[in-house]
Amino acid sequence: MADYADASRSAPSRWGYGTERLPTTLDELEGPTSGAVELPLELAWSGLRVFDLGDVKLLLGLYRIVLNNGSTDDFVRYLDHGHLVRHWPILRKMLGRGVRDTWEEAFPELRRSGSA
Protein backbone atom coordinates (compact mmCIF):
# COMPACT_ATOMS: atom_id res chain seq x y z
CA MET A 1 0.00 0.00 0.00
CA ALA A 2 2.84 2.42 0.78
CA ASP A 3 4.31 1.84 -2.70
CA TYR A 4 1.05 2.99 -4.33
CA ALA A 5 0.93 6.15 -2.19
CA ASP A 6 4.54 7.03 -3.04
CA ALA A 7 3.96 6.44 -6.77
CA SER A 8 0.79 8.53 -6.87
CA ARG A 9 2.55 11.46 -5.19
CA SER A 10 5.33 11.51 -7.77
CA ALA A 11 3.11 11.07 -10.84
CA PRO A 12 2.21 14.32 -12.66
CA SER A 13 -1.41 15.36 -12.39
CA ARG A 14 -3.43 15.22 -15.57
CA TRP A 15 -5.09 18.39 -14.27
CA GLY A 16 -1.80 20.26 -13.99
CA TYR A 17 -1.15 23.48 -15.83
CA GLY A 18 2.15 23.19 -17.65
CA THR A 19 4.20 25.48 -19.81
CA GLU A 20 3.61 23.22 -22.83
CA ARG A 21 0.19 24.88 -23.14
CA LEU A 22 1.63 28.38 -23.44
CA PRO A 23 2.57 30.23 -26.61
CA THR A 24 6.29 30.73 -27.21
CA THR A 25 5.98 34.52 -26.89
CA LEU A 26 3.18 36.90 -25.97
CA ASP A 27 3.49 38.40 -29.46
CA GLU A 28 1.70 35.28 -30.74
CA LEU A 29 -1.46 36.43 -28.97
CA GLU A 30 -3.31 38.12 -31.81
CA GLY A 31 -6.89 37.73 -30.64
CA PRO A 32 -9.60 40.33 -31.14
CA THR A 33 -9.26 43.71 -29.48
CA SER A 34 -12.87 44.86 -29.86
CA GLY A 35 -16.34 43.64 -30.72
CA ALA A 36 -18.19 40.57 -29.52
CA VAL A 37 -16.43 37.23 -29.12
CA GLU A 38 -18.26 33.93 -28.83
CA LEU A 39 -16.40 31.16 -27.08
CA PRO A 40 -17.04 27.55 -28.08
CA LEU A 41 -18.95 25.33 -25.71
CA GLU A 42 -15.81 23.33 -24.80
CA LEU A 43 -14.31 26.50 -23.28
CA ALA A 44 -17.38 28.18 -21.82
CA TRP A 45 -19.58 25.25 -20.87
CA SER A 46 -21.39 27.00 -18.05
CA GLY A 47 -23.01 30.38 -18.40
CA LEU A 48 -22.13 33.23 -20.70
CA ARG A 49 -20.50 32.43 -24.05
CA VAL A 50 -20.63 35.80 -25.86
CA PHE A 51 -18.42 38.59 -24.52
CA ASP A 52 -18.40 42.26 -25.56
CA LEU A 53 -14.74 43.30 -25.35
CA GLY A 54 -15.80 46.92 -24.89
CA ASP A 55 -17.07 45.99 -21.43
CA VAL A 56 -14.03 45.48 -19.18
CA LYS A 57 -15.87 43.08 -16.86
CA LEU A 58 -16.83 40.89 -19.82
CA LEU A 59 -13.32 41.10 -21.29
CA LEU A 60 -11.85 39.98 -17.96
CA GLY A 61 -14.37 37.14 -17.78
CA LEU A 62 -13.44 35.92 -21.25
CA TYR A 63 -9.72 36.08 -20.45
CA ARG A 64 -10.23 34.21 -17.17
CA ILE A 65 -12.10 31.42 -18.96
CA VAL A 66 -9.55 31.13 -21.76
CA LEU A 67 -6.54 31.29 -19.42
CA ASN A 68 -7.99 28.61 -17.16
CA ASN A 69 -9.43 26.26 -19.78
CA GLY A 70 -7.73 27.02 -23.08
CA SER A 71 -5.07 25.40 -25.19
CA THR A 72 -2.25 27.09 -27.07
CA ASP A 73 -4.56 27.52 -30.07
CA ASP A 74 -7.23 29.10 -27.86
CA PHE A 75 -4.72 31.54 -26.35
CA VAL A 76 -3.58 32.65 -29.81
CA ARG A 77 -7.13 32.90 -31.14
CA TYR A 78 -8.90 34.65 -28.25
CA LEU A 79 -6.26 36.59 -26.32
CA ASP A 80 -4.57 39.82 -27.35
CA HIS A 81 -1.06 40.59 -26.11
CA GLY A 82 -1.87 44.23 -25.30
CA HIS A 83 -5.08 43.44 -23.43
CA LEU A 84 -3.38 40.64 -21.47
CA VAL A 85 -0.49 42.82 -20.28
CA ARG A 86 -2.73 45.84 -19.59
CA HIS A 87 -5.26 43.87 -17.55
CA TRP A 88 -2.85 41.39 -15.91
CA PRO A 89 -2.82 43.19 -12.52
CA ILE A 90 -6.54 42.40 -12.18
CA LEU A 91 -6.56 39.11 -14.08
CA ARG A 92 -3.83 37.59 -11.91
CA LYS A 93 -6.16 37.92 -8.91
CA MET A 94 -8.89 36.04 -10.78
CA LEU A 95 -6.71 33.03 -11.59
CA GLY A 96 -5.58 30.09 -9.53
CA ARG A 97 -1.99 30.08 -8.31
CA GLY A 98 -0.92 27.41 -10.82
CA VAL A 99 -2.17 29.35 -13.83
CA ARG A 100 -0.87 32.69 -12.56
CA ASP A 101 2.57 31.35 -11.63
CA THR A 102 2.98 29.45 -14.90
CA TRP A 103 2.24 32.54 -17.01
CA GLU A 104 4.36 34.85 -14.87
CA GLU A 105 7.33 32.48 -14.87
CA ALA A 106 7.16 32.09 -18.66
CA PHE A 107 6.57 35.79 -19.33
CA PRO A 108 8.33 38.06 -16.81
CA GLU A 109 6.68 41.14 -18.38
CA LEU A 110 3.43 39.93 -16.81
CA ARG A 111 5.03 39.73 -13.40
CA ARG A 112 6.27 43.31 -13.81
CA SER A 113 2.85 44.56 -14.93
CA GLY A 114 1.16 42.63 -12.11
CA SER A 115 3.25 44.39 -9.47
CA ALA A 116 2.68 47.85 -10.93
**3-class state of residue 65 by DSSP:** helix
Tell me what pLDDT residue 57 has. Answer: 97
Sequence-ordered list of residues with C-beta below 8 angstroms from that of 47, at least 6 positions apart, any chain: none
Under DSSP, the state recorded for 41 is: T
Residue scoring higher pLDDT (2 or 88):
88
Tell me what pLDDT residue 65 has. Answer: 96
For residue 66, give the nearest of 21, 15, 24 by alpha carbon.
Answer: 21
Q: How confident is the model over 12-52, as pLDDT tens digits?
A: 444 567 788 899 999 999 999 999 999 999 999 888 999 99
User: pTM here?
Assistant: 0.83
Query: Strands 36-38 and 50-52: what pairing?
Result: antiparallel
DSSP strands (E only) in 49-107: 50-52
**Domain segments of the chain: what residues?**
35-116
Residue scoring higher pLDDT (102 or 3):
102
